[in-house]
Amino acid sequence: MSGDEVAAGERTPVTWEDIEAAWRRGAIGALPVLFRGMPEKERKMLVAGLKERQAALRTGELGWDAHRRHVRMLKLVGPAVLGGPAGIAQWLAKRDFVFGAEGRDPLHKAVAEIIRDRNPEWLGNVAERLAQRMTVRTSVQNWFLVDRLARAAGGPPPGADSYVAGWLPFHGRNTKVPSLADSLRADSYTPVMVPRIFATDGVGEELEMWANTDVPERTWAVALRTLCDEGLVDRAQIVDRCLGRMLRGAEPRHLRGFLALYEGLDVTDDEAASHAVAYLRLLADAPATVAVVAQVTLRRLDEAGRLTAVQVEEATRAVLFRSEKKLLRPQFTWLGKAVKGHADHAGVLIAAAATAFAHPDTGIQDRALAFIAKHLPKLADGQAEPVREELRAAVDMLTGTARAGVLELLGESVEDAAPEGDAAPVHVPAEMPPDIESLDELVSEVAAFIAARRRSSWTGARNTPSEDPWTIERIIAAMLREHARDRRGLAATMGPMVDRVEEAGILGRRDDHVDVAAGLGSAVVASAGGRRVGRRWFEELFASPEGKNGRGSVSGHLAAPHRVLAGRLFETAERLRTPFPVPYLSRPADIRGYVDPAEFVRGLEKCAAAGRDPWPLDLEQALLRMPSTIDPEVVARAERLGTPAGKWAADVMAAGGMTAPDVAVLESVNRNRWQTQRIGYHLLPTVGEVPEQFADGVLARALCGMDQPVKQFQALAWQGFPEASSWPLVAPGHRDVIAAHAALNIAHAVDNPRAGLDVLPVLAAADGQAGDGIAVAFAYGLAAREAVDRAHAVDGLIVLAGRGTDAWNGADLGRTLSELIRMDIIRTTRLAESLRQAVAGGASAAVWAVMAGMIPGLRGERPAGLGDLLAVAAECAARSGARQFLSGLEPYVKKGTSRIAVEARRLETVLAG
């Protein structure tokens, strides 16, 4: 060693060529020797070369293997030439070196050797700094290097949290020794590191990650227990830290490991008694898995007479405030025993049971009531007073039978539970949105539509705000108006929008990209004086679903109301391209979407006067938007025109708009093609043939004649419809037809987040009969997977309720729901939640009508969550004052404490008055 140092002064300086030659020749071992005893000055001169070579890494010219070798060399040379521990640590942590040296590596030994040769005190310093640069989540890289340096330094382990995160798997994965305890015993860091497991956030998962529960000696729980027993770590401290760690809280996945450690310790009663306060807090705030353990421990302590009555009361209040049933039930049992054990404080303990009245679940309320009713009469007056106080406080938060029970216990008269007389808010129709007034505003609206479409295509259907149903109508009206007024001005202003349309990629270049946005895109391009876009898809839009060559066509995967909209937009584009303005006939004149018949006929007259035919889709859309009652004089004027358009219009107007096509429900069972197994069940609406008056129409034909809904349903599987709320404007008097189309979309909401359920409140407010289409659409909507989607259905139901019973039939909806429940298509719990919300919104009479149709339809089946549904039924029956015999309830009315039986009996009591 000393000989080398003397020689170093005389030898020729080491160059980068020497280093690289040595690296190639002797690899790792050669370099520490090369640098040994090198004067600092000489090291400094090599730094520039180091930086150059690091820069070379980023050129990307090195192959994978060469890159890796290069990285390893630089990692080794850096500590030899850079000045000071800070620089070295920063160098080793460089991102450029991430791939090259992971895990245990001979390179680390050489790095440690090089640093020790320069200054042994740097080892610990570099280790600490490097550890500080890692986080708990990035400790995979460089952990072994840190470990090697720290151990070479001979000092304590690095203090950074990241060191703990690597230390756990380092031992957990050590399979060279028979057990984890052996591995830990051999590590001098163990006594220091074990307490740090509990102090570090975010490492709990590591305790379980490598554990194989089949081999107990490989788990941390067993290893730690062994070390405690051997006295290598302080058992009292570990118990304390473990409880403390669980108290501090974390996500359940991090806490599970600590819970396992705790359970492995087999805490004794003496130990537990000294930590009683900690258990009490865990009972209140910890996740259920931990709280259960605390509950069992405390109960054991109480039975051994080691808890005070105050502590039992605290435990009871803590548990009964929680919502987990697996905690609540045992607590009543424990409390029953504790009342005997702490007879002097029985009153306080029984009063604590009243905490459970805060739960909305009537089953839990009843349980608490039964408990108090059982114990209260046995109490002396002084003891009973705190219980009575609690009961008095609870009266206001209770309703129904629980409230009556509490009042009875208090010896007060039960006031008549008169129906609360709530009513659904009366539906107030929205106001017509204002027209787009200026060209600038038109550009803003178009830009906003494109931007929204662009955004929703990236972020998916979720969280996109509902689109305004009037956006497209307002844009069409404004474009046609400006076209008639100042065609060149329109073209100049819309010019910049063409680029945006192109960028947004909504022009429908491929068939499966066609939708309403493609239609609007064509109109925008046309308004700016551009070429014709979308001719091809337009031709297919109303063709048969199989297409010309059987490969399918646009119409196969586009919902009918969307085809109507897209078709009209394409026609608008055609109109914008012609220089002759023709009156716009289908402009909606009221919020429901009806045209003004007089205005419409005036438009027809203008067309006839100018010798032009009305645009066909415009005309047909206008006829679909005819209100049912029309001044006969207006009809006569249309008749007098003598044109084919006038004739058709007069026919339709005289009949009071389009005759409603039949909407029915189709039940179908999909079977596997080769076997008879059922693989899917569908309950979807069909729409009957197009009425005679519209036999020559295009749009009406698209809307009617849906006889294969299952096929259509499957074709629409991947789409949600952001602008479905505009659909009712397509055929204002035929909401059942629109609902039938919407139902195909809404049915997907049962398992998916879905856009387009906002059509439901609009349908509820729309005109026309409410038959099977409405029933199916609402049935699926009320049971949608996402609370956000269900909220639309609930809002719709409340609107329906507010419009009175003649607007719809609740029993129909109930029957459809019962069928979906029996076929296991929808989840009863979600439905119950929706109906509860509707009741809260004042629709209790309407919900009762639904229930009265649904319960008989269940035919005695007991789907999961039926108890919830019956509870809602009881509530809305009580609120709406329903008194009737309900067939179909008998199978559920039984003795026993099951939720279904309890709620069914409650419902029966309410109905009996």
Partner 1 sequence: MAVSEPPGGGVGAPPYVADMASLVQSYSYLRASALLTEPGGTPSLGLETCGGLTSHGLAPYPRFFTGFLTAPAAAAGSLLAVADVAATRYFQPQNRASLDPVVTGNGDRLRFESFSGCGGVYARLDVLPGGIDGEILGNGTTNVDVNAPLREALAMIGGGEPLHVAVGPDDVTVTTFDGPVVEKKVPLPDRWLRGFAEVQVIAARFDLRAEMTGVEATRFLRTLPKNSRQVLWFKPVGRALRAASGPARGAVCLAGPDRLRTFARVLRHATALRVYGPPAPTGPVASAWEIELPGMRLTLTLSPDAARGFSGEGAVLGDLASASGAADADLVSALLAWEPRIELGELATESGLGIDRVRAALVRLGTAGRVGYDVAEAAYFHRELPYDTGRAEAMNPRLRDARRLVAEQRVELRDGTAVVASPSGATYQVRLAGDGACTCEWWAKYRGGRGPCKHLLGAQMAVRERENAGVSA
Interface residues toward partner 1, by CB under 8 A: 51, 54-55, 87, 90-91, 137, 199, 201-202, 244-245, 247-249, 277-278, 280-281, 284-285, 314, 317-318, 321, 323, 358-360, 397, 438, 440-441, 443-444, 447-448, 450-452, 455, 462-463, 465-466, 496, 500, 757-758, 761, 786-788, 790-792, 794-795, 833, 837, 840-842
Partners of 687 in the β-ladder: 663, 706
Report the C-alpha gap between 65 and 102 in whole angstroms.
15
Nearer to partner 1, 314 or 903 (CB): 314
Amino acid (1-letter code) at residue 64: W
Residue closer to partner 1 (CB basis): 91 or 538: 91
Shortest spacing between CB 415 and partner 1, in angstroms: 19
Do 87 and 79 form a contact (C-beta atoms < 8 A)? Answer: no
Q: Nearer Cβ to partner 1, position 49 or 216?
A: 49
Distance from the first to the final alpha carbon of the chain: 103
**Least Cβ distance, residue 841 to partner 1 (angstroms):** 5
Closest CA to 145 of 60, 78, 202, 57: 78
What is the C-alpha separation between 631 and 892, in angstroms, rounded?
56
Least CB distance to partner 1 at residue 444 (A): 5
Q: Cβ 323 to partner 1, closest distance in Å?
A: 6
Nearer residue to partner 1 within complex by CB, 132 or 643: 132
115, 150, 106, 156: which is closest to 129 by C-alpha? Answer: 150
Rounded distance, CA 484 to CA 495, Å? 18
Q: Give the span between the Cα atoms of 482 and 441, in whole angstroms.
A: 12
Shorter beta-carbon distance to partner 1: residue 149 or 764: 764
Smallest gap from Cβ 294 to partner 1, in A, equals 13
- Indicate the residue among 432 and 679 with the shorter CB distance to partner 1: 432
Give the amino acid at 511. Answer: D
How big is the CA angle at 94 (ends 46 and 44), to the nearest 5 degrees? 15
The least CB distance from residue 802 to partner 1, in Å, is 13
Shortest distance (Å) from residue 358 CB to partner 1: 5
Strands of 286-355, DSSP E: none
Comparing CB distances to partner 1, the nearer of 10 and 61 is 61
Can you read off the two tokens belonging to residue 71? 């990285």
Closest to partner 1 by CB, 450 vs 617, is 450
Looking from the CA of 226 toward its CB, the CA atoms found within 13 Å total 16
**Helix 844-857 and helix 787-802, axial crossing angle in degrees, nearest 10:** 110
Min separation Cβ 55 and partner 1, Å: 7
Smaller CB separation from partner 1, 108 or 792:
792
We find the least distance from the C-beta atom of residue 533 to partner 1, in angstroms, to be: 21
C-beta closer to partner 1: residue 87 or 341: 87
Closest by CA to 329, choosing from 361, 304, 306, is 361
Q: Using N-to-C axis directions, what is the helix angle for 161-172 and 190-199, rounded to 10°? A: 120
Q: Which residues pair with 706 in a beta bridge?
A: 687
Q: Helix (H) and strand (E) counts for the chain?
A: 46, 2
- Is residue 880 within 8 A of residue 872, CB to CB? The reply is no
Q: In terms of CB distance, is 417 or 886 closer to partner 1?
A: 417
Is residue 335 within 8 Å of 298, Cβ to Cβ?
no
Q: Which residues pair with 681 in a beta bridge?
A: 669
Min dist. Cβ of residue 327 to partner 1 (A): 14
> Measured from the CB atom, is 83 or 644 closer to partner 1?
83
Q: 493 near 442, Cβ under 8 Å?
A: yes
C-alpha 855/C-alpha 857 separation (Å) is 5
Query: How buried is 898 (Cβ within 10 angstroms: 0-12 exposed, 13-18 middle, 19+ buried)?
Result: middle
Q: How far apart are CA 685 and CA 748, in angstroms?
A: 14
Which residues touch 361 (CB under 8 Å, ≥6 apart)? none
Pairing of strands 663-671, 678-687: antiparallel
Residue closer to partner 1 by CB (options 87, 888) is 87
What is the rounded distance in angstroms from the CA atom of residue 605 to the CA atom of residue 650?
Answer: 13
If one counts every other C-beta atom within 10 angstroms of the C-beta of residue 679, the result is: 10
Minimum CB separation from partner 1 for residue 605, in Å? 37
Q: How far is the CB of 452 from partner 1 (least distance, A)?
A: 8
| Assigned token pair, 578 | 């012609």
- Residue 887 CB, shortest distance to partner 1, in Å, is 31
User: Based on CB atoms, which residue is closest to partner 1, 729 or 757?
Assistant: 757
Least CB distance from residue 888 to partner 1, whole Å? 29
**Residue 163: φ, ψ to 5°:** -65, -35
**Gyration radius (Cα) of the chain, Å:** 39
**Widest CA span in the chain:** 123
User: C-beta of 88: minimal distance to partner 1 in Å?
Assistant: 12
Q: With respect to partner 1, which residue has the nearer C-beta, 337 or 462?
A: 462
Nearer CB in complex with partner 1: 554/757: 757
For tokens 């006929």, name the residue. 601
Count of alpha carbons within 13 angstroms of residue 92, beta-carbon side: 34
β-pair partners for 665? 685
- Of the pair 587, 790, the CB lying nearest partner 1 is at 790
Least Å from the CB of residue 623 to partner 1: 32
Query: Smallest distance from the beta carbon of 847 to partner 1, in angstroms?
Result: 13
- Note whether 200 and 251 are within 8 A (CB): no
Phi/psi for 57 (5° steps) reads: -60, -30
| Nearest-approach distance from CB 787 to partner 1, in angstroms | 5
- 370 neighbors 401 (Cβ within 8 angstroms): no
For 211, the token pair is 């554990």
Q: Which is nearer to partner 1, 58 or 551 (CB)?
A: 58
